[in-house]
A and B are shown apart, each in its own frame.
Chain A
Amino acid sequence: MWVIYTLNGLYFAALLFLTSLGLNIILGVMGILNLAHGSLYAIGAFMAAWTIIQIVTKVPEPLLYVSLLSGFVLAGIVGWVMEKTLIRAMYKRTLEYQLLLTFGALLLLEDLIKMVWGGQALYASAPFDLLGKVEILGSVYPAYFLFVIAITLGVAFLIWLFMGKTRLGIMLRAISLDREMATGLGLDIGRLSTLAFVLGSGLAGLAGALVIPTTPALLGIGMEPLIFAFIVVVVGGLGSLKGALVGAMLVGLTRSYGIAIFPEIELPLLFLIAGIILVAKPQGLFGR
């Protein structure tokens, strides 16, 4: 059973990693605490569900998995529009303004989702059903969960390559390390900020899209991931890929084991861990 508990924890951690990495990049590079991050997750979820429903009977099966990328794309586009219109004006303002604005964006996006896709649940479980089950040490386990874990590892590797090895990634890191110095060196902060916001939003959208085959798209689907993503950022620390990875795994595994062993205090336990880390190491486990 412990193998399955661990796999559950890793699956939850995978989705959490993608969501919190997006939040982390935006917060690290731009200094923007985006409360609407969960809504971008929801947009990814609804977009993927809608796309799958449109194409499910018409295309070969592997394309269904590619279609999950639609969540990444649309959330990225929405992120781009948000950055260009709303967020841009906030860089020089204090945190309170940002929180107000991004909270407003959260309400706006929720209503937008309702307008576009209606208020009803969208069911699109074909990718989950088609992959079937695998047997692991005598227990059966849905292969789709392993698919999500594998995709997430792939994305983590790509982001690591991008941030560590490409010029663009190094410039993004430079901004997050020292914004003034980066400006002084002549980096185009405006365009790089847009890029960071689009990438962060897209990752949230991808997480939302990946969850869709396992659960219907519903209004408010982005709330829980937002809260968990904040815990991960607190635990793992700001501006660190490693932090997001370890933070997500810590939260995911704690939740899974917590529910198995002491279900009544699973959520308080997570907040307790976050609280202890905040007191003992305010910058997070791997933050600077």
Chain B
Amino acid sequence: MSNEISRRNFLKYVGAAAITVGPLTGATKALGQAKKPIAAIPIKIAAVSFLTGAAAGPFGIPADNTFKMCADVINKEGGILGRKIELLSKDENGGVDAQVKLARKLLLEDKVDVDLGYISSASCLAVLPLTDELGGLIVAYDCGTHELMEGPKSPYEVPKFKLGFKSSAHLGIDNVGLALMIKKYLPKIKTIAGVNQDYAWGRDSWLIFETAMKKLMPQVQVVKTLWPPLGNTDFTAHISALMGAKPDIVHTSLWGGDAVTFTKQAAGMGFFKNIKTAWSRGEPYPQELGKDFPEEQIICCAGTHYFLYPPPEKSPLNKWFVEEYRKRYGKYPSYPCYHAYQALYLYKHAIEKAAKSAGGWPTNEEIAKAMTGLTFPTPSGDITIREDHSAVEDVLVGFSKLTPKYPFPILDPKRMEVFPANQVLPPVGIRTVDWINSWK
């Protein structure tokens, strides 16, 4: 009996020692005494982005650069709980089947600790269900579809995947944000049109925008909806058809080479003289096209991801991020860079949070538990992961404007709007379309 008491007392002392010594010697040592030791081997993190093909230039390469940069910075600061990051950059090109195979290989053969990946909504929809099947942790970092985490009808049960997360908000915020922006700044418009690629991304983007516009500005008429194929090289017919329909605003979710081709050909045909475009994720293209990108276009930043927002003088983290990225890669970071940062740091913060309660290196389930409800700092401001395993983000919308300081149009600082998450993102368990339709 006395023996037992003394053991209990002993444990108390050890516990007290750990608490007092812990902060002095670093978390690693304090946790080292616990039952789950922290292995000395590096953490294997897969980063899957388009490294080849149409989406490589605008999204995949900048995101991959950011993963490398952040892993490098974390490693130089001592890693995550003392473990260095070993980054496995993988190519998302090759279609959905190839991605499912790759994800299986990463989780089962390469035994990665976490799979951060996917720019294409199709990849996300195909790969995320593997999390619960294989018990692997997957964080979707960039893909836009709102269907990924939503159930078939409202209200739906959350989370959809126990070990699957989405560390950026879905396309709902972009398209609702555009509609709110139009209502606020261009309340007199009468007609809108759309040019969106003929697959899930384009169709979903237009659906949300059109639904939101009908609620916010019921007097506005849709005069044309066009669906060019992905990878279209000749937009002349679409451009003239839009010009012929004379809309005030054309909504578009075009991306990559299509966005560049469309803008160039449209500028050549005098399209922007009477028509404004509203870009659901247009943030990268002014930098890509330089002065060829027209002024006065409405641009959404897929969140509040912008190299000038939050302003560097107000956000040291954004200032650091922009400068560090520019130093390494010679460009300003675009929104996929911010998305990559969010995914990697979500994982880091979750590990650190989970390790405290788990007393050692946490299991995937413990990491998932720590991620849910986690709020962590990012260059775009604090971000929270909700119970539905998706990130909550505000959205930044602005008008393109040339200034003497930059060789491409930036968002006019006087007309930047940040719409808070509760105005652009449905509550947990409600489908985006149902939520918009319930607006009074």
Residues of A within 8 A of B (CB): 1, 4-5, 7-9, 11-12, 15, 114, 118-121, 123, 125, 128-129, 133, 139-142, 144-145, 211, 214-216, 218-221, 223-224, 255-256, 258-260, 263-264, 267
Q: Spell out B's residues near A (CB within 8 Å).
A: 51-54, 56-57, 61, 91, 93, 224-227, 229, 231-234, 236-238, 240-241, 243-244, 256-257, 260-261, 264-265, 268-270, 292
Q: Which residues of A contact B52 (CB under 8 A)?
A: 114, 118-120, 219
C-alpha gap A214/B261 in the complex (Å):
7
Interface CB pairs A-B, < 8 A, 5? A123-B260, A128-B268, A145-B236, A221-B233, A263-B241
- CB neighbours of B269 from chain A (8 A): 4, 139-142
B231 touches A142 (CB 8 A): no
Interface centre among B91, B226, B243, B268 (most CB of A within 10 A): B268
Q: A255-B237, A256-B240, A259-B226 are in contact. List 4 more A-B contacts (CB 8 A).
A: A140-B269, A215-B261, A220-B53, A256-B237
Please state if A125 and B264 are interface contacts (CB–CB under 8 Å): yes
Chain B residue contacts of A11, Cβ below 8 A: 234, 236
Chain A nearest Cβ from B204, distance in angstroms: 17
Which residues of chain B are within 8 angstroms of A128 by Cβ–Cβ distance?
A: 264, 268
Cβ–Cβ < 8 Å partners of B260 in chain A: 123, 215-216
B224 closest partner in A (C-beta): A263
B225 and A263 within 8 A (CB)? yes
Interface of A is mostly: helix
In the complex, the answer to whether A121 meets B54 with C-beta atoms within 8 Å is yes
Name the residue in A114, A121, A224 with the highest tally of chain B Cβ atoms < 10 Å from its Cβ: A121
Central interface residue in A11, A119, A220, by most chain B CB within 10 Å? A119
CB neighbours of A123 from chain B (8 A): 260
Contact B237 A9 (CB under 8 A): yes
Interface centre among B91, B241, B243, B261 (most CB of A within 10 A): B241
A5 and B240 contacting across the interface, CB-CB below 8 Å: yes
Question: Known: A12-B234, A119-B53, A219-B54. Is A142-B257 also a contact (CB below 8 A)?
Answer: no
Q: Name which residue of chain B comes closest to A1, CB basis.
A: B244
In the complex, which residues of chain B have a beta carbon less than 8 angstroms from the beta carbon of A259? Answer: 226, 237-238, 241
A221 to chain B, nearest CB (A): 7
Contact call A264/B241, Cβ cutoff below 8 A: no
Contact partners of A1 in chain B: CB under 8 A: 240, 243-244
**Taking the nearest CB of chain A, how far is it from the CB of B261, in angstroms?**
4
In the bound assembly, the distance between CA atoms of A121 and B292 in angstroms comes to 18
Q: How far is the CA of A140 from the CA of B57 in the complex (A)?
A: 31
Check A121 against B237 for contact (C-beta < 8 Å): no
A119 B231 Cβ-Cβ under 8 A: no
Query: Nearest-CB distance from B259 to chain A (Å)?
Result: 10
A224:B268 contact, CB within 8 angstroms = no
- A-chain residues with CB within 8 Å of residue B236 when the two chains form the complex: 7-8, 11-12, 145, 256
Q: Is the CB of B231 within 8 A of A218?
A: yes
Name the CB-closest residue of B to A139: B270
Closest 6 CB pairs of A and B: A119-B52, A142-B268, A140-B270, A8-B236, A260-B241, A215-B233
**Candidates A7, A118, A142, A223; contact of B265 at CB < 8 Å:** A142
Inter-chain CA distance A219–B55, complex, in Å, is 11
Residues of A within 8 A of B243 (CB): 1, 4
Q: Is the CB of A218 within 8 A of B257?
A: yes
- Complex CA–CA separation, A159 to B34 (angstroms): 82
Chain A residues near B232: list those with CB within 8 A.
224
Q: Is the Cβ of B240 less than 8 Å from the Cβ of A133?
A: no
List the B residue with the shortest CB-CB distance to A8: B236
Residues of A within 8 A of B225 (CB): 263
**A142 to B239 alpha-carbon distance, docked (Å):** 12
Contact in complex: A214, B61 (CB < 8 Å): no
User: Taking CB as reference atom, which chain B residue is nearest A140?
Assistant: B270
> Bound complex: CA of A125 vs CA of B234, how far in Å?
14
Which residues of chain B have C-beta atoms less than 8 A from A216's C-beta?
257, 260-261
Residue in A8, A140, A220 whose beta carbon sits within 8 Å of that of B231 in the complex = A220
User: Complex Cα distance A128/B264, Å?
Assistant: 9
Contact A214 B237 (CB under 8 A): no
Closest to A141 in B: B269
Q: How far is the CB of B64 from chain A (nearest CB, A)?
A: 12
* Beta-carbon contact of A12 and B264 below 8 Å: no
Decide yes or no: A133 and B234 within 8 Å by CB, A120-B56, A215-B261, A260-B244 being known contacts: no
The answer to whether B268 and A121 touch across the interface, beta carbons within 8 angstroms, is no
The docked-state distance in angstroms from the alpha carbon of A158 to that of B310 is 60
Cβ contact within 8 Å between A133 and B268: yes
A276, B56: Cα distance in complex, Å:
41
B226 surroundings in chain A (CB, below 8 A): 259, 263
The answer on a CB contact under 8 Å between A214 and B231 is no
Q: Measured between C-beta atoms, what is the minimum distance from B235 to chain A in Å?
A: 8
Contacts of B270 in A (CB 8 A): 133, 139-140
| Closest chain A residue to B51, Cβ basis | A119
Q: In the complex where A128-B268, A141-B269, A259-B226 touch, is A215 in contact with B53 (Cβ < 8 A)?
A: no
- With most chain B CB atoms within 10 A of its CB, the pick from A114, A211, A256 is A256
B241 touches A121 (CB 8 A): no
Q: Residue on A with the closest CB to B93? A: A119
Residues in B with CB closer than 8 Å to A221 are: 231, 233
> Do the beta carbons of B231 and A5 come within 8 Å of each other?
no
Closest to A4 in B: B240
| CB atoms of A218 and B237 under 8 A apart | no
Write the nearest CB–CB distance from B73 to chain A, whole angstroms.
25
Contact A224 B257 (CB under 8 A): no
Which residues of the partner chain A approach B56 to less than 8 Å between Cβ atoms? 119-121
Smallest CB gap from A118: residue in B: B52
- Given the complex, which residues of B lie within 8 Å of A260, measured CB to CB? 237, 240-241, 244
Cβ-defined contact, A224 with B231, below 8 A? yes
Question: B233: which of A5, A139, A140, A224 is its contact (CB, 8 Å)?
Answer: A224
